[in-house]
Structure 1
Amino acid sequence: MTTTNISPSSIVVEVLRGDNYDDWSACMKSYMLAQDLWDFIEPPGLQEGDQEVDSKPIDHQEGDSKALRKKNAAALHAIQISCAPYVLSKIRSITSAKVAWDTLANLQQQHSPSHKEQSDEAEPSEDDESQGSEQSVESEPAEDDESQGAVSNEMNGPLLTLYKYAHNGDWDAIKTYLSRYPNAKKAKIKPYGRTALHVAASSGNLKVVEELVTLMSVNELAIKDNEGNTALSIAAIVGIRKMAECLVSKNENLVTFANRYPKIPLVEACVGSQMDMVRYLYSVTPIEFLCRGNVDQGSRFLKNAIGAQMLDIALDFLHRCPRSATTMDEVLKSNALFNLSKMPQIFPSASRLAFWQQWIYSCIPMQSIATTDDNVRINMPDQSLSESKNIILQVSSKLRGFAINLLAFLGIKQIYDLKKIHIYSDKILRCMCEHISTLDYEEYLKADVDGAFHSAVENGMVEFIIEVVKACPHAMISVDGNGRNLFMSSIANRQEKVFSLFYGLEAGGAEFVSIVYGSGNTMLHLAAKLSPPSQLARISGAALQMQRELQWYKEVESIVDPTDNDYYNKDNQTPRELFTSDHKDLVVKGEKWMKQAATSCTVVGALIITIMFTVAFTVPGGNVQETGYPVFKDEKSFTVFIVADAISLFSSSTSVLMFLGILTSRYAEEDFLKSLPTKLIIGLSMLFFSIAAMMVTFCAALIIMLDGRLQVIIPIVLLATIPVTLFMLLQFPLLVEIGVSTYGPGIFNRKMKRWSKSSTDRLLEVNSLLSQTV
């Protein structure tokens, strides 16, 4: 006996799940008619289109008709393999194909809208799970199961269909669906437990959301998914303001509902940097809820608003609720003050503007950007306005748009925005420090002001440090987790602007320079250690990095006691020994970098010397045979030619000599401070002059030879400027960086103005606070 393998896909398009019975039964009937099996389902004599079976099924037990039993088994097998597992469980024990068919038909009628009994929740079929995220959704009853009525918990199909309609934004299909299953609008769909309103909101289908809101009650709008999100939370993440307005207009309490993390919609919008949504939700979220009703949410909102650089909103909220700056978030164990200390990019001390950008920055008036709205809006014209006024408004709008685009192209708009951020960050910091100054010592410790202070030191935030010290002078003598004070930490993290504050202390800050912290290291030991990789990466080339390390060591060495040079730490190393051991790899890299640069430039310089020396004896036009003088010796262009040739030859020779000096240097540590950088500056400068003079020599020779043919001379002269320009673009920034680093004013500001109280005043204030706590 042979066995025939039959695939369900060869019988029906989809296995029977519960929502596709009509399509399934039609396919099954066609298959059974083709296989001569339909007589076991519908006995002969009925019309082809009849849906109801009145006659009894064929008695397959009469006689020993082996052929009839085989056909019944084939029909029953075809039905069984075409059902989903949870449907198959209903007919597993049935041995008659006719009875199995009728049972499935009855199950379909029980799950129709007129049926009012609830079935047990069903599991999805294996085929369903392979269809993807949208086709693997199970149905789940709403919170009030008894009112679910029209939607069966067992039938996966209807809610799957509703999910797809809501995802695609097909309101007409949703409306038809809800007319059959009215309570489906509040049904929660697995695996995420979202309603159709959640799905439409996450897909950004505004029309569907508006229509569903009109159909749903106030309580139904507050249904949460498995993550605890209401539809408003989803809309806040998506960032469609009209969607949020529609939801809040019907249930204004939605703005106070937090998800499982827990975040209210306002916070979710901040996390997603949805500016327009944040402005709206901030206007409708009760300040009392953020300030008094739920301090955690207020602190969380302030942190995220600052993090998203929505500083105007953060400043407004901070004025209304100052204590939110120091209120600790019990979930994340931080507050807005600590988060602000990790954002150096919004403060002027982190700006790296070119000189012309700095000039534009200083010219922008501060008063003009103090408002929260930086857009100049033109009101829409009324119907009574004349045609001429409409034209004027349109032209003004276009001109304004052109001006904004021009400013953006020139980079002025970015500088304007940067200055506005700096103004708001300064106001936020001052407002926080005003609140900090009112805290007693216990509240000061609970707010972790010292932690935020030392975080600002690590990030080089000079403004933050100064304002905190003004509000709480005792913060200056606090130590971080490694036992390091303000200036020790600035040395370890290579924050030169913070270290320069040392020069603004009264009496030179003598009480800070002789401190030895836990590991037995002095300030000079910290300067002898290798810089953090993030700070080294800011400097071009290993040689310049080594130069910066030496500058740090020399600067700290100049302020400490001379006896510290011989002080041994716990590893039995003096500062100089520690510097040598920590920087030996950097010295090797610096030597390699210098030699590679010198070798490349030496080759270029040697080629220029060869060419320019030859050109001096093969002048254009040749020489007079009788006298040996050049033919064009009396021409002005010839004078330019010979002078430029000489300049190119001499400068390239000087350049080669400087690079040879670099190649033959001993590469001691001290050489990286001035000797090697000086040779590199001279070599690159002379090489630049030699290339420029070579181009001038070439152009002068062409002018002599072409004798006034400007249509040829001018394009060639313009082309000759290309290599000079490229050299400037590629090498000039490095040359400037080396020059400023070697002979510039330095990275430390020794002329820092006094900015802090004396040490005596600080100690008195600390003792006063300590006595209060006792």
Structure 2
Amino acid sequence: MKSSESPRSEVTISSEDFNLIEPFYNAVWSGDWQATNEFITRNPDVVRARITYSGRTALHVAAVNGHMSMVETLVDKMYEEDLEIKDVDGFTALAIAATYNASIEIAECMVRKNTKILTIHVNDMLPAALAFRYGYTKMGRYLYTVTPLDNLVLPQNGIDGATLICNAIYMRSFGIYIDPARAITDSCRELNNIRLLTDNMSIIGSPEKDSHHKFWSFRGLALKFLKMLGIKFLYDMKLVHVQTFQLVHQMCATTTSLDEIQLEACFVYDALFRAVDRGNVEFVISMLKANQELVEICDELWRNIFMRAILNRQANVFNLIHRLDSKLAAATAIDRHGNNMLHLAGMLAPDPQLNQISGPNKISGAALQMQRELQWFKEVESIVTPWTIEHKSSSLTPAQMFTRDHKDLRTEGEKWMKETATSCTVVGALIVTIMFAAAFTVPGGNNQDTGVPIFLNKELFMVFIISDAISLFSSTTSVLMFLGILTSRYAEEDFLNSLPKKMMIGLSTLFFSIATMMIAFGATLLIVLRDKYSWIFFPVISLASIPVTLFVMMQFPLLVEIFASTYGAGIFDRNVQIWN
């Protein structure tokens, strides 16, 4: 039936007629094209009839079940206006296709018949936005590409474009290019797209700054290369990174045209502070590049973005202060409660940052948590003016506030250090005892006349002696270091360098003593059994390597973490670049 024919009025089936229409419903539901076609031949108007109690037409039913051939048959026999029929919930057949099975082929068939259905609202959303809302990103992308642009960006339709971007951001689908000014300004009190981006960027990360994504710096080349190789997962991940930051830069650029009232009403200030609290430095940089005056804004407690960064221990954001001309003004700010930056550094970090168990800033154990807190205090102290060091808030200087707020953490750090040192001391003392005894009970024994070891002239005997001596000396050093930890005064300053240094020396020498002990054991076996039972050597040596491997797996990561935290590059970077 051609669309050029005069349209007929919509036919409604009464409740008494549902039994009569049931065979037709069953044929459509099951995808029986032949039975459906025969029924339509006898009853042409049935294609536009409501054949369910929820007011759905045959096209709705076919779309729900994804019957492509059935949809083509029905669409061919329907008028253009028939595709605009809604069920009792306000869903057109296209909206059903967008929210049930996400069949793009079915949507294409309907759109070819009537493009107007792309602009019919369902629950205050266009079909494209609806598809994103229900999680069908591919369908959403298709419907977005065929939806008239005027229905997304014109002033009277701006909310539709904002809704579309909002839902796309929720699904982390960022290839939607609509005037970013509309995305921010229209109905921004309800949509707050820019705040959604802050949340999503914490999950997605940065394609340029994230150390785990250095490869992504070659944007165009990487995209072409990955697409050529057909590595879909990596290609999609890269595409999401690129699209995210393109959208971020577009949205941030529009903030320059907004006045203070609009910025606050559109949640721009809120988005910036959320980005600071979450450590989304790329978002913060994009905002500051677009509008450098944002660096001067304060929250309801009169805290600027750097004070918020300190409070939430976001070093990557705090580092930006070194690149600002207004560094001194930011560093001398006082909040509503009379706290300066150093007071905030003296407060205990929030649990998510204090107990971070993964990522590049991972912290294991209360002692390292205490060390990180001291590092923050020292770093902030190095940039504030002298008067702030003695400035009091609630009758406390920053140092006194640090002591008060970190009292429990210091106690927990002392307990953690002592427990670790005690356990390692037992192991070290045991190795000292074994290696000391082994030095006087050498393999093969001694010549009874001269007292000289029987195997003295063998090369393997020297391996045994040297390994035994090294193991004895290193285990003794380890025990002494751990005893030093057990007898330490545990002042706050000790957690910064003294205690971690002793722990590193103790763990590394203990590891070395275990390894050389196993070497001495292997050399002994080879000396004694090499002539007649050489076959047993390799199985025994393999078993002997198990203790060394276990120690490496359990303690070596801690050793590396302590070293990185104490002597590594650290989390603070005074040469960070943001204006390039």
Structure 1 residues 322-341: aligned runs within 5 Å: 322-329=180-187, 333-341=190-198
The alignment status of 1:579 with 2:443, answered yes or no, reads no
The alignment status of 1:257 with 2:120, answered yes or no, reads yes
Structure 1 residue 477, shift from structure 2 partner:
0.8
CA contact (8 A) 1:349 1:463 kept: no
Once the two structures are overlaid, the 10-residue window that deviates more, 592-601 or 532-541, is 592-601
The aligned counterpart of 1:532 is 350
The alignment status of 1:451 with 2:308, answered yes or no, reads no
The aligned counterpart of 2:104 is 241
CA contact (8 A) 2:298 2:304 kept: yes
Aligned-partner Cα distance in 2 for 1:501–1:307 = 29
Aligned-partner Cα distance in 2 for 1:559–1:641 = 55
The alignment status of 1:428 with 2:247, answered yes or no, reads yes
The alignment status of 1:636 with 2:459, answered yes or no, reads yes
In structure 2, what residue type is equivalent to 1:368? L
Q: 1:204 to 1:660 in 2, by over 3 A?
A: farther
CA contact (8 A) 2:137 2:173 kept: yes
Structure 1 residue 171, shift from structure 2 partner:
5.4
In structure 1, what residue type is equivalent to 2:118? V
In structure 1, what residue type is equivalent to 2:348? L
Structure 1 residue 217, shift from structure 2 partner:
3.9
The alignment status of 1:277 with 2:116, answered yes or no, reads no
Aligned-partner Cα distance in 2 for 1:240–1:453 = 39
The aligned counterpart of 1:466 is 285
Q: CA offsets, 1:498-533, max 9 Å, x none?
A: 111111123x61112222121222212211111122
Q: 1:447 to 1:613 in 2, by over 3 A?
A: same
The aligned counterpart of 1:664 is 487
Aligned-partner Cα distance in 2 for 1:163–1:727 = 69
Structure 1 residue 715, shift from structure 2 partner:
4.6
Secondary structure (helix, strand or coil) at the match of 1:294 reads: helix
Structure 1 residue 741, shift from structure 2 partner:
1.0
The alignment status of 1:147 with 2:20, answered yes or no, reads no
The aligned counterpart of 1:606 is 429
Q: 1:170 to 1:537 in 2, by over 3 A?
A: farther
The alignment status of 1:558 with 2:382, answered yes or no, reads yes
Secondary structure (helix, strand or coil) at the match of 1:748 reads: coil
Q: CA offsets, 1:94-142, max 9 Å, x none?
A: xxxxxxxxxxxxxxxxxxxxxxxxxxxxxxxxxxxxxxxxxxxxxxxxx
Structure 1 residue 497, shift from structure 2 partner:
1.2
Q: 1:610 to 1:242 in 2, by over 3 A?
A: farther
Q: Which has the larger radius of gyration?
A: 1
Secondary structure (helix, strand or coil) at the match of 1:344 reads: helix
Aligned-partner Cα distance in 1 for 2:42–2:542 = 79
Secondary structure (helix, strand or coil) at the match of 1:310 reads: coil
Aligned-partner Cα distance in 1 for 2:132–2:445 = 77
Structure 1 residue 732, shift from structure 2 partner:
2.4
The aligned counterpart of 1:649 is 472
CA contact (8 A) 1:299 1:335 kept: no
Aligned-partner Cα distance in 1 for 2:216–2:460 = 46
Q: 1:474 to 1:156 in 2, by over 3 A?
A: same
Aligned-partner Cα distance in 1 for 2:32–2:484 = 78
Aligned-partner Cα distance in 2 for 1:209–1:716 = 72
Aligned-partner Cα distance in 1 for 2:525–2:89 = 77
The alignment status of 1:375 with 2:227, answered yes or no, reads yes
CA contact (8 A) 2:47 2:77 kept: no
Structure 1 residues 485-504: aligned runs within 5 Å: 485-504=304-323
Structure 1 residue 349, shift from structure 2 partner:
8.4
How many pairs does the alignment contain?
Answer: 562
The structure in which a higher percent of residues are helix is 2
In structure 1, what residue type is equivalent to 2:269? D
The alignment status of 1:299 with 2:167, answered yes or no, reads no
CA contact (8 A) 1:623 1:629 kept: yes
The alignment status of 1:514 with 2:377, answered yes or no, reads no
Percentage identity across paired residues of the two chains: 45
Structure 1 residues 77-92: aligned runs within 5 Å: none
Aligned-partner Cα distance in 2 for 1:179–1:607 = 94
Structure 1 residue 309, shift from structure 2 partner:
3.3
Q: 1:512 to 1:688 in 2, by over 3 A?
A: same
Aligned-partner Cα distance in 2 for 1:505–1:146 = 67
Structure 1 residue 186, shift from structure 2 partner:
3.6
Q: 1:365 to 1:567 in 2, by over 3 A?
A: closer
The aligned counterpart of 1:594 is 417
Aligned-partner Cα distance in 2 for 1:177–1:628 = 112
TM-score, normalised relative to structure 1 = 0.65
Q: 1:718 to 1:671 in 2, by over 3 A?
A: same
In structure 2, what residue type is equivalent to 1:648? S
Aligned-partner Cα distance in 1 for 2:35–2:454 = 94
The aligned counterpart of 1:366 is 219
Structure 1 residues 75-154: aligned runs within 5 Å: 147-148=11-12, 151-154=13-16
The alignment status of 1:740 with 2:564, answered yes or no, reads yes
CA contact (8 A) 2:215 2:222 kept: no
Higher relative contact order (Cα pairs below 8 Å, separated by 6+ residues): 2
Listed as ranges, the gaps of 5+ residues in structure 1 are 1-143, 377-399, 757-774
The alignment status of 1:701 with 2:524, answered yes or no, reads yes
Aligned-partner Cα distance in 2 for 1:459–1:601 = 38
Q: CA offsets, 1:72-106, max 9 Å, x none?
A: xxxxxxxxxxxxxxxxxxxxxxxxxxxxxxxxxxx
Secondary structure (helix, strand or coil) at the match of 2:300 reads: coil
Structure 1 residues 135-214: aligned runs within 5 Å: 147-148=11-12, 151-154=13-16, 183=46, 186-187=49-50, 189-190=52-53, 194-214=56-76
Aligned-partner Cα distance in 2 for 1:157–1:698 = 89
Aligned-partner Cα distance in 2 for 1:488–1:586 = 22
CA contact (8 A) 1:213 1:247 kept: yes
CA contact (8 A) 2:367 2:412 kept: yes
Aligned-partner Cα distance in 1 for 2:51–2:264 = 46
What is the root-mean-square deviation of aligned Cα atoms in Å?
A: 3.4
Q: CA offsets, 1:389-410, max 9 Å, x none?
A: xxxxxxxxxxx57xx5xxx9xx
Q: CA offsets, 1:635-689, max 9 Å, x none?
A: 2222222222222222222223322333333333222222222222122212221
CA contact (8 A) 2:163 2:191 kept: no
Aligned-partner Cα distance in 2 for 1:147–1:362 = 60
In structure 2, what residue type is equivalent to 1:611? I
Aligned-partner Cα distance in 1 for 2:328–2:429 = 55
Aligned-partner Cα distance in 2 for 1:196–1:301 = 29
The aligned counterpart of 2:81 is 219
Q: 1:542 to 1:162 in 2, by over 3 A?
A: farther
CA contact (8 A) 1:296 1:327 kept: no
Aligned-partner Cα distance in 2 for 1:622–1:602 = 31
Q: 1:442 to 1:588 in 2, by over 3 A?
A: closer
Structure 1 residue 587, shift from structure 2 partner:
2.3
Aligned-partner Cα distance in 1 for 2:120–2:502 = 68
Aligned-partner Cα distance in 2 for 1:631–1:159 = 105
Q: 1:727 to 1:263 in 2, by over 3 A?
A: farther
In structure 1, what residue type is equivalent to 2:352? S
Q: 1:754 to 1:472 in 2, by over 3 A?
A: closer
Secondary structure (helix, strand or coil) at the match of 2:227 reads: coil
Aligned-partner Cα distance in 1 for 2:58–2:132 = 25
Structure 1 residues 334-349: aligned runs within 5 Å: 334-342=191-199, 343-348=201-206
Secondary structure (helix, strand or coil) at the match of 1:301 reads: helix
In structure 2, what residue type is equivalent to 1:309? R
Q: 1:639 to 1:239 in 2, by over 3 A?
A: farther
